[in-house]
Amino acid sequence: MNGRTLLSILTAKAVLSLSKFLFKGGSSFPGKVALAMDPSVLFHVAKGIPVILITGTNGKTTTANLLAQVLVKEGYRVIHNATGANMYPGITASFIDAFRFREKKKADFAVIEVDEANVKFITQVLEPKAIAITNLFRDQLDRYGEVYTTLHKILEGVDLTKETLLVLNGDESLLGALSQENPKRYFGFSVFEEGGKELDQNADAKFCKVCQGPYAYDFVTYNHLGKFYCPNCGYKRPSLDISVDALLETTPSSSTFVLDNEKVTLPQGGLYNIYNALCAYTLARELGIDKKRILSSFSVQESAFGRQEVLQMDQKEVHIFLVKNPAGYNQALDTVLLTKEAVTYAFLLNDQYADGRDVSWIFDVQFENLQGAVSGPLFIGGDRRYDMAVRLQTAGLDPEQFHVLDTYEAFTKALQKMATEKIYIFATYTAMLGYRKHLHKLGYIKKLW
């Protein structure tokens, strides 16, 4: 390690310490500082550590969190960007934070979620042990474009590491028939009796990637995921290596299903979280961990940062759902609509860079499904609160029930006055971060990052 690299690490560590003191947590900024001083610093701090990359549109943070906790419970030392700082500088900062000059033994694994467009930057420097791709949905069209563009960005990174194992969502039609020769493992649902056979009109990938004909389905789980086939050319879902063989029960806060011939209860609701568990399970099995020990870990998993996070606000039980695209938002709504008790619904919509500047995607979210479920006031905040109010009104919800609030303080005070004990908050990324900071100042969140 040369002097330039050494100085960049020391400087970044100093910035990290200052950031933790001032902001109660780290950020990507220390990574930016280190990379400005030495563009090769990631190679040095990650050298010799087996790296697992997790990418895709939805589920990166939760999947990485599931896998990291499994590995930690197995006694491994794990580097993990738990707060979702998944760009190149944030990933660099995570490795620098874990780097110790005098330790002979390095971390056993690095479980890293990575932004889809940043995969190629990581694989230019590192050769991961595995790359997992969760799914591909329309998301931040101003950054990624359509789903085929997102796939291309990811595969640019895969092409740089030809020996890396690919762990892929088999129910994702875009991930079958890949030309890459990397070893591959597929996960998905072997059966799904609850699903129909027709795609919603707003589904993201309706046409065959081989011949452009329309897909047919034996079943659809959600959006365009499911057991697909093309009647025109014969392209179909690949054989699954790991699968859900039965869905036994779903609630707003849990799912019980059969995975690899074992019954497991996941303490998070929603089909999307079952897919996250499938992905993490497949990775853990490839790392040689016993399946019963993996599923035992899953049964006591805590929700990841801002993802179905549950906290107490005085006597209120507040559930925070990170929502950033139609597919994820629809799944979150479908999950909470399983509840049998009276709840309060609240919405925070921002349009900052990390959210995507274009918020027209909210018109592809099925807010119409809330009709009949909302019996009280609806609370709306964020930079684009009026856009959200318009969308909810067009969905048939009563504007007389809307409370459009311009500050987090007003938002919180209004929620505290509600009679219901349970509150569901749907927030885009920067809104989630901002509101969590507000709740941290009030003492409702102990650990900000």
Q: Which residues are known catalytic residues?
A: 358
Residue 211's contacts (CB-CB under 8 Å, 6 or more residues apart) are 230, 232, 233, 235
Full strand arrangement of the beta sheet holding 254-259 = 78-80, 109-113, 51-55, 130-133, 165-169, 184-189, 242-251, 254-259, 262-266
Burial class (CB in 10 A: 0-12, 13-18, 19+), 424: buried
- In angstroms and rounded to an integer, the radius of gyration of the C-alpha atoms of the chain is 22
Distance CA 181, CA 176 (A): 12
Spatial separation of the C-alpha atoms in residues 65 and 112, rounded to whole Å: 9
Strand partners, 322: 427
With tokens 């990390």, the residue in question is: 354
Task: Give the Cβ contact number of residue 413 at 10 Å.
Answer: 11
d(CA 140, CA 146): 9
Q: How far is CA 253 from the centre of its chain?
A: 17
Residue 419's Cβ-count burial label (10 Å; 0-12, 13-18, 19+) is: exposed
Tokens of 239: 């054989």
For 44, 139, 309, 326, the CA distances from 390, given in Å and listed in that order, are: 51, 21, 27, 17
In whole angstroms, give the CA distance from residue 175 to residue 159: 14
- Decide: 346 and 425 in contact? Cβ < 8 Å: yes
With a CB cutoff of 8 Å and minimum separation 6, the contacts of 299 are 264, 265, 266, 267
With beta carbons less than 8 A apart as the criterion, state whether 222 and 202 touch.
no
In Å, how far are 67, 131, 266, 281 from 286, measured between CA atoms?
Answer: 12, 12, 21, 9
